[in-house]
Amino acid sequence: MALPRFRKQLLSVKSRKLDDLFEAYALAARTLEKLHLEDQPELLAEYETTCLQIQAEVLRLLGEGERCT
């Protein structure tokens, strides 16, 4: 996950929602990397947006603290 400032907090929080988001992010990031290598610019923006949306949702859940379980 591309949120290095929140690494300690991410490691300390146990949440099924966050685990699901981490998995979704990993899949989207892998696809984004593949699209870069295959030079498919038409899909790059879509996956970049998806990654940013997942990061924003993770930050929102971190801001909710205990309620993100």
Q: How confident is the model at residue 14 (pLDDT cuts 50, 70, 90)?
A: confident
pLDDT at 66 over 90: no
Q: Which domain holds residue 53?
A: 13-68
54 inside domain: yes
- For the entire predicted model, the pTM comes to 0.79
How far is 57 from 34, CA to CA, in rounded Å? 23
2 inside domain: no
5 inside domain: no
Tally of structural domains, the chain: 1
pLDDT at 5 over 90: no
Mean pLDDT for all residues in the chain: 87
User: Residue 11 carries which side chain, given as an amino acid letter?
Assistant: L
User: Residue 47 carries which side chain, given as an amino acid letter?
Assistant: Y
8 inside domain: no
At 35-57, the pLDDT tens digits run: 989 988 889 999 999 999 999 99
3 inside domain: no
The encoded tokens of residue 56 equal 């924003």
Measured N-to-C along each axis, helices 41-64 and 16-37 cross at an angle, to the nearest 10 degrees, of 160
41 inside domain: yes
1 inside domain: no
User: Residue 34 carries which side chain, given as an amino acid letter?
Assistant: K
